Structure 1
């Protein structure tokens, strides 16, 4: 019996090739989108879930309430926190501080002190207990003792192979970090998997930096995190309350910042805080991806239902013959569901192949390590089975009811009215409206995202970001001694307009926050501020405006401070009130006068509020050179000259540079990827909707062929025929637009609220999206309408 159903289904589909092609194409695309999105979501939700103790691992984060009532959160903690926690909490089985130092210079020397190789691996400093909390595979060395010596290091396998050719040869070798620390390789770790926050190339110990000696409970740096392993059975809420008391114990009573625990699973998904890889997959983003996947698949199913019910017109006589020969309704339903299952199964197989082909492209767009192996996971096959059953029932059940309900006598006489044949034209209209609600929502949403990205690109950040290149500078005494010479030599290079030495550009994604005392007050301010170490030419190089007072002096023998408008406002003063007032940080170790107030600039991205900033001229902190090139400069020639200067003065260093505008563009990488993904999905939604419209228009042309012939005989022009076919679709798309507009406005308004600096949603974007959908639909429908209008009425009026 089953064999007969399948054989009959195959023959029916083969006889209706165009119908089968349209449905397979639509379902294949819809299922492919589901598969690709599922792989993306699975990857994003798998971060650090391979650790055996993941349910007991938490990150300690800092909570910063403001007087306005708003609460800010940061992943960073003061440096003394990891040392103090084990003494105050018995609930913690293990505690480890972690510092991501970024890419640091590592050199290998021969026996005579000459450099053989130099690299810049990603270096982490941590406490040895880190490896009791997290699971990483040791290839060599003992995790209990590998970092017990402050002058020891552990390398990732790929790093060891890069240095020594074979990782087995790395054990016991000595490498030099930052031309200062001689470290012995005491362990080799397998490379961290891609789905972990800790993508280290090289690991060194906290003890080397003497972190335990730091007593500053106010200063925090984004690169410093703290992780804890709870003992079994501990209550997180109770510990969070104890952390509030812990904060009060060690900090100034007026300092309102506290700490709380954040589960390991939330580190990659909590958008309130950042992480070491710089990307957060928020629940809202994951939910939106699921919704898009479901809607794209629904559009494909809607196409199937529309085409199947329209195709029923051509199958009326077939159904009538089957009923006369004894087929009952259940047999006809099973027959129709068998055809649907065959289409869905074919689409599933094609979708799997298409997903394999498109994953590399999506991987590049999203900058995610997606590969074909992810489609071989058992949960993907479970998903495919669920899709098969759901789509077969969803797309095939209703049409099977309609077809099996035909009256055999009327069907054989072809006397079934169109509306009765398909269960009412209103269903098809409703499905078309549903399709275009989704399509227009994706089009308009994509346009709004692109507008916001364009706003980020064009909006002023309070400084010049074009034609500025930042070159890395070693943070040692030798480099500091050459600053004056380097400045003079750089200014003689053709194409160089301004030069400034600092610890970072005005905008950085790794800010150092610290508290300060103002005007000899006994206590530090209630708020920390972003710290910048700059020279006297910083303002000129980046074109930062001075609104009160003067610039820093050229000499670095006298400590002076510049502050921004936001810092002045948080002090409750006016710019003139802070000039010539004393300011000190780090318990008075650095102090000087405030000599100027600068206009606010973005110390981070435009997604965030402007931070309070102070700048001072401590050259020992300089680690970057900002070089502003003249308009129309020969950039390659200028960079070549700069690299030559660096090679002559720092032969042991690796010359590295980055254009400031490119670095700032990285801040919006996630939003840019989201926009690209939306463009792809909007294009697929448009294609699927047009595919359905094309099929419907084709069948409409067949159904109304005699009507068109009569109208032409009575004098109707091709334009009238085109209007006849198009007016219904224009009405349906208009209804979809009316429904989609408030939905899109609501969701995009909430998305834009994630940004401090944002666009206002303009009505023109809705008009543009609606008109785009209308034009695309009319082009699709008109192809069939023109074909019907151009037929000879003599041919169209002939009897069947």
Structure 2
């Protein structure tokens, strides 16, 4: 029996080549895209889950109240972690974590490495498997370091790394460390990345801040014991907070801050490690959202859904052509169950073939996919036996539903009615039309999303950020030289170059440079019996001129005034914090006797990403703090030549450093990676959704035109024009697109409105986005069916009337 099913299935598919090919193409492409997008989604969802103790590890964050509302931070003081270990029950392990670059020297090699400064428990908490050296507690000694396999190769080549002595620059001095352990390279799904790991006690600022509760500059992770709830951490740390943050709490009450729902002004809470990659700290709260991941998986599902709708629609449309076959089979004794399995076998065959082709396509396109979507997915992520079993089970279920519904309809047809070749298909048409409405509704939804995403992305790219981003080059000040001395040497090297206009430096970059590093510094101070919080930026001379910041009042730092090293330049947002009529009368207070006067105010500029409002910032010049980035303003012509000049000059200033320069507009564009990924994904999904919808629409239009051939001939004989007949055949399709538009537009508007809430600076959500999406879908649908209908309308009516 099964052999007979296979044989008849093969003949039927070959007989209807057009529909077989269209179904196979649609399903193959849909499965390929669904596989790739699903891999990307599951890759993101697997972040940090490779750690054996991932479910028990949490990141500590603090929440406090100020007059403007709640504030949140993950930066902590050095004495907090030991206090948590001593005073808080249920903590199995804990570690401080500070990520910053370190200059590492071995022989003639001098390399800037991504370093983490952690406590001894770090490698007992997190799973970074050791390859060589100490397998247990590798940071037990403060003189030992842990390096990755890739770092070992960069430093030592084929030599044995264990036991080698290297120097790390700390506070301007080379200190010796011994390589005690080599671990595997960081997994791609790790939020904690490093090339070398060093004990926290050896960090440059540790000795000066180990007892200072006011210096917050690092993260803390804790591992909870069994049956210890994260919610207990807040209660367990309240006495610790009251003992060590009493002054801060008193200041908050004095300044008019309101307590939270628990009546607290300061508290500590825990963020699960597995949520860290999806967490944002905005508006005083921690928000964990996997919406982007679910969006990727949702697009994969919608693409596959549209392809399945195509299959159902074409199967239903083809049912009218197989009525006599069904009637004959029933006359010869075929039972409904046998007919069902016959037609379902055809569906299963097409699906299995399409899945096979889809897998091949996904393998061929995975490299391009990884490049476009900036992901490190691999098939290894889904090649586990459980995943393969679930995948095959999913295909079987989809096939049973998608192929089973048309098969069930055809198997229930009456014998006599089938033999006559006539059937009332109004019910089937309703199902078909509903599916087409849903199909084009999804396409319109994705087109509207694409238009809004593109517009928002263009808006952010072209927005005036308040500084010169086209002519300014930034690069990390790597190397052992003092950063201020290195900049002065660079000025000397480029002094005779007419294309170099200004040179300066700061301790933070604007946007994301090629080193991928981004940081911020904040501090609070007492001003006239209230606390003011501000972002802090250490700068060098000419910073304002280099970035073309607009000076509103006062002046910039000047070499002519030695006192400027004890002055501050602020932005307008910071000036409002002071509340003074003349902001130049204000000052930054570090103590009762140490005050830095405000000497100038610059117009607000976007020193953070555009998903944040402009916050207060204070610029100071202090040789006590290093500069980490150089800025060079170049002439608007010969940008490439100027780039090479700066690169060559820096090679002479710091020959052992790698030049990682990029213009600020490139840095700013890198901050839009999330938006670019979403836009690319939605755009690709929209194109594919429309293409798949058109495949189904084209196939159905072929069948409908064939079914109405005699009607077309009669209408032409009695005088109908080609235009009238074309309109008659296309109006039903356009009506379905119109219904799709009416359903999809409100849904798209709501989704886009919610998404734009994430941005304080955004476009206006114009109705034209949705009108354009509907018109585009209508035009594409018209073009899809228009060619075939016009051809049918032009056909000789005599030939049409002969058609049975």
Q: Does TM, normalized by the shorter one, top 0.5?
A: yes
Q: Return the offset for 1:177.
A: 3.9
What residue is the counterpart of 1:550 in the other structure?
555
Q: Is the 8 A contact 1:472 1:623 kept in 2?
A: yes
TM-aligned CA distance change 1:479 to 1:52, over 3 Å:
closer
How do 1:384-395 residues align onto structure 2 when only pairs under 5 Å count? 384-395=391-402
TM-aligned CA distance change 1:779 to 1:588, over 3 Å:
farther
Q: Measure, in 2, the Cα distance between the counterparts of 1:507 and 1:138.
A: 35
- Please give the per-residue CA displacement for 1:552-587, whole angstroms capped at 9, x wherever unaligned: 23245541012222223334x0451x32333234x5
Q: Measure, in 1, the Cα distance between the counterparts of 2:13 and 2:90.
A: 66
What residue is the counterpart of 1:108 in the other structure?
106
The answer to whether structure 1 residue 6 and structure 2 residue 19 are counterparts is no
What residue is the counterpart of 2:702 in the other structure?
698
Q: Is the 8 A contact 1:565 1:575 kept in 2?
A: no
Q: Measure, in 1, the Cα distance between the counterparts of 2:372 and 2:510.
A: 29
Runs of 4+ in 1 over 6 A off after TM superposition: none
How do 1:646-665 residues align onto structure 2 when only pairs under 5 Å count? 646-665=650-669
TM-aligned CA distance change 1:220 to 1:746, over 3 Å:
farther
Match of 2:341 among 316, 334, 342: 334
Q: Measure, in 1, the Cα distance between the counterparts of 2:91 and 2:17.
A: 67
Q: Return the offset for 1:302.
A: 1.2
Give me the CA root mean square deviation. Answer: 2.5
Partner of 1:120, secondary structure, is strand
What residue is the counterpart of 1:119 in the other structure?
111
Q: Measure, in 1, the Cα distance between the counterparts of 2:29 and 2:622.
A: 59
- Please give the per-residue CA displacement for 1:389-434, whole angstroms capped at 9, x wherever unaligned: 2222221232123212323223222233443xxx342221111111
Q: Is the 8 A contact 1:475 1:623 kept in 2?
A: no
Q: Return the offset for 1:505.
A: 4.0
Partner of 1:99, secondary structure, is strand
Segment of structure 1 superposing worse, 87-96 or 369-378 = 369-378
Q: Measure, in 2, the Cα distance between the counterparts of 1:234 and 1:171.
A: 40
Match of 2:435 among 431, 438, 459: 431
Q: Is the 8 A contact 1:131 1:143 kept in 2?
A: no
TM-aligned CA distance change 1:159 to 1:540, over 3 Å:
same
TM-aligned CA distance change 1:67 to 1:161, over 3 Å:
same
Q: Is the 8 A contact 1:167 1:188 kept in 2?
A: no
Corresponding pairs, count: 775
Q: Return the offset for 1:16.
A: 1.4
Q: Is the 8 A contact 2:167 2:174 kept in 1?
A: no
Q: Is the 8 A contact 1:534 1:615 kept in 2?
A: yes
TM-aligned CA distance change 1:65 to 1:641, over 3 Å:
same
Q: Is the 8 A contact 1:475 1:621 kept in 2?
A: no
Q: Is the 8 A contact 2:59 2:273 kept in 1?
A: yes
Q: Return the offset for 1:379.
A: 3.7
Partner of 2:106, secondary structure, is strand
TM-aligned CA distance change 1:388 to 1:442, over 3 Å:
same
- TM-score by length of structure 1 reads 0.92
How do 1:779-790 residues align onto structure 2 when only pairs under 5 Å count? 779-790=783-794
The answer to whether structure 1 residue 570 and structure 2 residue 564 are counterparts is no
The answer to whether structure 1 residue 147 and structure 2 residue 139 are counterparts is yes
Q: Return the offset for 1:774.
A: 0.9
How do 1:741-760 residues align onto structure 2 when only pairs under 5 Å count? 741-760=745-764
Q: Return the offset for 1:202.
A: 1.2
The answer to whether structure 1 residue 689 and structure 2 residue 693 are counterparts is yes
TM-aligned CA distance change 1:663 to 1:397, over 3 Å:
same
Segment of structure 1 superposing worse, 48-57 or 741-750 = 48-57
Q: Is the 8 A contact 2:447 2:773 kept in 1?
A: yes
Partner of 1:461, secondary structure, is coil
Q: Return the offset for 1:728.
A: 0.8
Q: Return the offset for 1:48.
A: 1.7
- TM-score by length of structure 2 reads 0.91
The answer to whether structure 1 residue 247 and structure 2 residue 254 are counterparts is no
Q: Return the offset for 1:682.
A: 0.9
Partner of 1:597, secondary structure, is strand
Q: Measure, in 2, the Cα distance between the counterparts of 1:92 and 1:281.
A: 24
What residue is the counterpart of 1:641 in the other structure?
645
Q: Measure, in 2, the Cα distance between the counterparts of 1:766 and 1:159.
A: 52
Q: Is the 8 A contact 1:269 1:281 kept in 2?
A: yes
Q: Return the offset for 1:105.
A: 3.1
Q: Return the offset for 1:750.
A: 0.7
What residue is the counterpart of 2:319 in the other structure?
312
- Please give the per-residue CA displacement for 1:113-148, whole angstroms capped at 9, x wherever unaligned: xxx223333211111210111122112222556434
Q: Is the 8 A contact 1:474 1:623 kept in 2?
A: yes
- Please give the per-residue CA displacement for 1:289-344, whole angstroms capped at 9, x wherever unaligned: 23222222221121111111110111011111111111122221221112111121
Q: Return the offset for 1:537.
A: 1.6
Match of 1:298 among 300, 305, 311: 305
Match of 1:263 among 269, 272, 276: 272
Match of 1:626 among 599, 624, 631: 631
Q: Measure, in 1, the Cα distance between the counterparts of 2:607 and 2:62.
A: 20
Partner of 1:528, secondary structure, is strand
Q: Measure, in 2, the Cα distance between the counterparts of 1:12 and 1:237.
A: 63
Q: Return the offset for 1:73.
A: 3.5
What residue is the counterpart of 1:772 in the other structure?
776
The answer to whether structure 1 residue 404 and structure 2 residue 411 are counterparts is yes
What residue is the counterpart of 1:203 in the other structure?
197
Q: Return the offset for 1:603.
A: 2.1
TM-aligned CA distance change 1:447 to 1:219, over 3 Å:
farther
What residue is the counterpart of 1:516 in the other structure?
524
Q: Measure, in 1, the Cα distance between the counterparts of 2:486 and 2:353.
A: 70
Q: Return the offset for 1:108.
A: 2.1
Segment of structure 1 superposing worse, 555-564 or 52-61 = 555-564
Q: Measure, in 2, the Cα distance between the counterparts of 1:531 and 1:738.
A: 51
What residue is the counterpart of 2:256 in the other structure?
none
Q: Measure, in 2, the Cα distance between the counterparts of 1:482 and 1:694.
A: 67
What residue is the counterpart of 1:112 in the other structure?
none
Q: Is the 8 A contact 2:138 2:146 kept in 1?
A: yes
Partner of 1:235, secondary structure, is coil
Q: Is the 8 A contact 1:65 1:72 kept in 2?
A: yes
Q: Measure, in 2, the Cα distance between the counterparts of 1:550 and 1:192.
A: 47
What residue is the counterpart of 1:86 in the other structure?
85
Q: Measure, in 2, the Cα distance between the counterparts of 1:389 and 1:556.
A: 78
Partner of 1:778, secondary structure, is helix
Q: Measure, in 1, the Cα distance between the counterparts of 2:25 and 2:238.
A: 59
Q: Which consecutive unaligned segments of at least 5 residues does structure 1 have? A: 110-115, 275-279
What residue is the counterpart of 2:163 in the other structure?
171
Q: Measure, in 2, the Cα distance between the counterparts of 1:174 and 1:99.
A: 20
Q: Measure, in 2, the Cα distance between the counterparts of 1:130 and 1:493.
A: 49
TM-aligned CA distance change 1:120 to 1:354, over 3 Å:
same
TM-aligned CA distance change 1:185 to 1:731, over 3 Å:
same
TM-aligned CA distance change 1:248 to 1:446, over 3 Å:
farther
Q: Return the offset for 1:11.
A: 1.9
TM-aligned CA distance change 1:240 to 1:766, over 3 Å:
same
- Please give the per-residue CA displacement for 1:628-684, whole angstroms capped at 9, x wherever unaligned: 11111x223323332333233323433332221111111111110111111111111
The answer to whether structure 1 residue 180 and structure 2 residue 185 are counterparts is no
Q: Which consecutive unaligned segments of at least 5 residues does structure 2 have? A: 253-264
Partner of 1:512, secondary structure, is coil
What residue is the counterpart of 1:50 in the other structure?
50
TM-aligned CA distance change 1:478 to 1:21, over 3 Å:
closer
Q: Measure, in 2, the Cα distance between the counterparts of 1:145 and 1:237.
A: 29
Partner of 1:516, secondary structure, is strand
